[in-house]
């Protein structure tokens, strides 16, 4: 049982993902608002998930911060894809709404050694400016780092947000401070038990599933100190993770 002081009560976590299966038993007690992006506008959505990815992330957040309000912003299709314009529309909406934390278990991957095309530069600049706007507005963005060493992932690389790597931890509450080009916090992301579509559950691996662990910790911090600045939240997370020695990230 999570103590009331760490329940996340009063904080809002937006999950920009594939939607959330609202009927899932893991989420029976969760407060969830369902939205979706349609024609670059954020509108009321259905309590459905196109792939199971968003439901898994919501289940992790709810397990660690059970009283936090969840806002599902569905933007990914069944293959985990979306347009860059739709992603920007979802992020800008979350910033405008001043949500406490935005869970981004997604990103745009580029080969680490390959040059960027002009269109790629534009997408990165748009994401960068949105991440900066979130920081200024006090909205904490938590984004996935790459899952393989050969890739660089945006927006997880931006230093105005919290980039997350993954590792295997026996304690699901554990974090590790590890500042790299790709991430600054490492969280449980190996064989994590979380919901699966149809009311079931399974073990998931990837930085996608490390991100909601960090988002839940941020929700707890925001619930305890509603006005806490983004930089202070980052510092608190690093203090939580500073007791563990550094170790190689799991790719």
In order along its 251 residues, the chain shows pLDDT tens digits of 677 778 999 999 999 999 999 999 999 999 999 999 999 999 999 999 999 999 999 999 999 999 999 999 999 999 999 999 999 999 999 999 999 999 999 999 999 988 888 888 888 999 999 999 999 999 999 999 999 999 999 999 999 999 999 999 999 999 999 999 999 999 999 999 999 999 999 999 999 999 999 999 999 999 999 999 999 999 999 999 885 544 444 44
Q: Which of 201, 184, 200 is nearest to 192 (CA)?
A: 201
Tell me the two tokens of residue 215. Answer: 């988002």
Q: How many domains are contained in the chain?
A: 1
- Domain assignment present for 248: no
In this structure, how many other beta carbons lie within 10 angstroms of the beta carbon of residue 119? 9
- Domain assignment present for 198: yes
Domain range spanning residue 110? 4-241
Question: What pTM value is reported for the model?
Answer: 0.94
- Domain assignment present for 250: no
The rounded distance, in Å, linking the Cα atoms of 158 and 164 is: 11
Q: Which of 45, 25, 49, 20 is nearest to 35 (CA)?
A: 45
| CATH number, domain containing residue 106 | 3.40.50.200
- Domain assignment present for 86: yes
What average pLDDT does the chain have? 94
- What is the 3-state secondary structure of the chain? CCCHHHCCCCCEEEEEECECCCCCHHHCCCEEEEEEEECCEEEECCCCECCCHHHHHHHHHHHHCCCCEEEEEECCCCCCCCCHHHHHHHHHHHHHCCCCEEEECCCEEEECCCCCCHHHHHHHHHHHHHHHHHHHHCCEEEEECCCCCCEEEECCCCCCCEEEEEECCCCCCCCEECCCCCCCEEEECCCEEEEECCCEEEEECCHHHHHHHHHHHHHHHHHHCCCCCHHHHHHHHHHHHCCCCCCCCCC
- Domain assignment present for 246: no
- Domain assignment present for 251: no
- Domain assignment present for 194: yes
In this structure, how many other beta carbons lie within 10 angstroms of the beta carbon of residue 171? 7
The rounded distance, in Å, linking the Cα atoms of 187 and 174 is: 7
The rounded distance, in Å, linking the Cα atoms of 180 and 184 is: 6
């Amino acid at each position: 049982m999570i103590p009331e002081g760490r329940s996340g009560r009063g904080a809002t976590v937006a999950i920009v993902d594939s939607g959330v299966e609202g009927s899932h038993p893991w989420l029976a007690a969760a407060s969830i608002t369902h939205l979706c992006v349609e024609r670059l506008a954020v509108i009321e959505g259905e309590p459905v998930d196109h792939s199971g990815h968003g439901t898994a992330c919501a289940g992790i957040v709810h397990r660690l911060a059970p009283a936090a309000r969840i806002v599902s912003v569905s933007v990914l299709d069944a293959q985990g894809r979306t347009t860059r314009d739709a992603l920007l529309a979802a992020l800008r909406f979350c910033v405008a709404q001043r949500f406490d934390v935005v869970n981004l278990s997604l990103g745009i991957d580029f080969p680490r050694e390959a040059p960027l095309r002009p269109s790629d530069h534009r997408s990165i600049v748009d994401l960068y400016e949105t991440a900066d706007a979130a920081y200024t507005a006090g909205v904490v963005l938590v984004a996935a780092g790459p899952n393989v060493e050969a890739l660089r992932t945006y927006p997880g690389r931006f230093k105005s947000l919290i980039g997350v790597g993954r590792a295997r931890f026996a304690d699901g509450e554990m974090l590790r401070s590890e500042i790299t080009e790709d991430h600054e916090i490492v969280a449980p992301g190996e064989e994590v038990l979380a919901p699966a579509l149809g009311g079931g559950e399974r073990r998931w691996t990837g930085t996608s599933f490390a991100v909601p662990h960090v988002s839940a910790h941020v929700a707890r911090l925001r619930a305890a100190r509603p006005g806490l600045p983004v930089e202070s939240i980052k510092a608190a997370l690093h203090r939580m993770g500073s007791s563990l020695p550094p170790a190689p990230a799991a790719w």
